[in-house]
Amino acid sequence: MKTIDELLAEGVAGKRVFVRADLNVPLAGTTITDDGRIRAVLPTVKALAEAGARVIVASHLGRPKGAPDPAFSLAPAAARLGELLGADVAFATDTVGESARSTVAGLADGQVAVIENLRFNAGETSKDDAERAGFARELAALADAYVGDGFGAVHRKHASVYDLPAELPHYAGYLIATEVGVLKKLTEDVKRPYAVALGGSKVSDKLAVIDQLLGKADRILIGGGMAFTFLKAKGYEVGTSLLQEDQIPAVTEYLERAEKLGVELVLPVDVVVSPGFPDLKAKAPTEHTAVDADRMPEGQLGLDIGPKTGELYAGKLTDAATVFWNGPMGVFEHPDYAEGTKAVAQALVDSDGFTVVGGGDSAAAVRTLGFDENAFGHISTGGGASLEYLEGKTLPGLAALED
C-alpha cells in the first residue's frame, strides 16, 4: 500500500485531503475522559497541514442509529484536536450536507476541519453495497485524496473505511503503517519466547484468536471474566462468576490441544471474590477476599485474578522476548479489583522484550492505572482490529488501501 510519505512527496499544497481517523473517544457528557485516539492521529494531521493540505478529518463515535444524535457529536473531539494542534479546527455540523460543503470550501492551505459523526448517515454502516457506495461518493466529492488512519475501524466494511478509498487516490497514514508493522512482528518471524495474556469478560470474544495462537505462542495466560469458563472446564466451581456454559466444550478442546502442542495455557491459581458487583462510580471499599481457584465459595463472584496468580503471570511475561496483552485481568475500574491488571501491566513494563498492549480496555487500563505509555513497546488504538488481524482475517480497511 502507498503511504502518506508518498503523498507528501507528490505535493499536497492546496489539495483537499480526507483523513479517516478514529476519534471514537470515551465521553462523560461532553467531557473526553481519554484522548489517546485523538493524539494517535496527530502526526498524520500535522504533516499534511504543515505541507499545505486542506485537511478534512472524519470519524465515527459510538453507535448512533444512522441519524443525528447530540450525545454522539464529534464536536468535543474537534475541539480537543484543535487544542492539541494549537490551531483553530473548523467543525461541520453534518457529514455531506451544506455545512460540510461550506466548511471544506472555506479552508485555506494548512487548515483543518472535522466533519460530524459519519454514523449520523445510515450509508456509513449499511449492509447494502449500493447505499454504502452512494455515501462514499458523496464523501469523495469533498476531497482530492484519501488517507486511511483510523486503525480502530479497519475491521469494519463501512463506507468511509472500505468504499471511499476506491473513489480517490488512497494512502495509509502514519498510525496505520505503525500498527501494521507491529502486528507483523507478532505474526511473522516472532522472537521467542512469545507470551500472550488474554483477559476481558467473554471467552467467546477470544476463541478465534486463541485458536490461532495455539499454533504460534509459547505461553497463553488467561484472566478476566473469561477465565471462569476455563476453570469450570477444569471441573472447578465458580460461584456466581461470569460463565459461558455453551463454550465449555470449545475451551476443553483448547486445553487438550495446548497440552499436545506443548503450549503453556496458564489459568489463575487464585481469584479475588466478592458477594456482589461493586459500584464503579462510588469506588467505595467492598467486601472481598482472595481464594484458591479450586475453592471458590458458593454465592461469591470472581472479579480479579488473585495475588499468587499476578506473581505467576508476571514471571511468565517478564522473561518473554515478545508479549501481546489484550483484555484486563479483572474489574480494573474499581481499586479493589485492579491489582491483577496492574501486575500484568507492570510485567510488560519490566520486560526487556517487545511488548504490545492490544488496544480497547487494555489501553484504557494502562492510562487509568497511571502507567507511562512510553514504557510499553506499543499501545494499539484498535483492540478488535488487532485481534482480527491475529486471527488471520482480511481486514476490509487494510485491503481497501492496497493498490
Q: 359: annotated binding-site residue? A: yes
Q: Active site residue: 202, 257, 308, 367, which one?
A: 202
Q: 360: annotated binding-site residue? A: yes
Residues 304, 339: contact at Cβ < 8 Å?
Answer: yes
Residues 113, 92: contact at Cβ < 8 Å?
Answer: yes
Q: How far apart are CA 215 and CA 316, in angstroms?
A: 18
Q: 216: annotated binding-site residue? A: no
Task: Report residue 13 as a C-alpha cell.
Answer: 499544497
Q: 219: annotated binding-site residue? A: no
Q: Active site residue: 224, 358, 360, 397, which one?
A: 360
Q: 295: annotated binding-site residue? A: no
Q: 22: annotated binding-site residue? A: yes
Q: 63: annotated binding-site residue? A: yes
Q: 155: annotated binding-site residue? A: no
User: Residues for the chain: how many in total?
Assistant: 403
Residues 214, 220: contact at Cβ < 8 Å?
Answer: yes
Q: 119: annotated binding-site residue? A: yes
Q: 37: annotated binding-site residue? A: yes
Q: 231: annotated binding-site residue? A: no
Q: 387: annotated binding-site residue? A: no
Is 360 in the active site?
Answer: yes
Q: 54: annotated binding-site residue? A: no
Task: Report residue 289 as a C-alpha cell.
Answer: 477476599
Q: Active site residue: 200, 327, 384, 397, which one?
A: 384
Q: 206: annotated binding-site residue? A: yes
Is 37 in the active site?
Answer: yes
Q: How far apart are CA 394 and CA 178, in angstroms?
A: 18
Q: 241: annotated binding-site residue? A: no
Q: Active site residue: 16, 37, 132, 232, which one?
A: 37
Place of cell 480494573: 332
- Residues annotated within the binding site are 22-24, 37, 60-63, 119, 156, 206, 302, 333, 359-362
- Residues annotated within the binding site for (2R)-3-phosphoglycerate are 37, 119, 156
- Residues annotated within the binding site for substrate are 22-24, 37, 60-63, 119, 156
So which residues are the catalytic ones?
A: 37, 202, 360, 384
- Residues annotated within the binding site for ATP are 206, 302, 333, 359-362
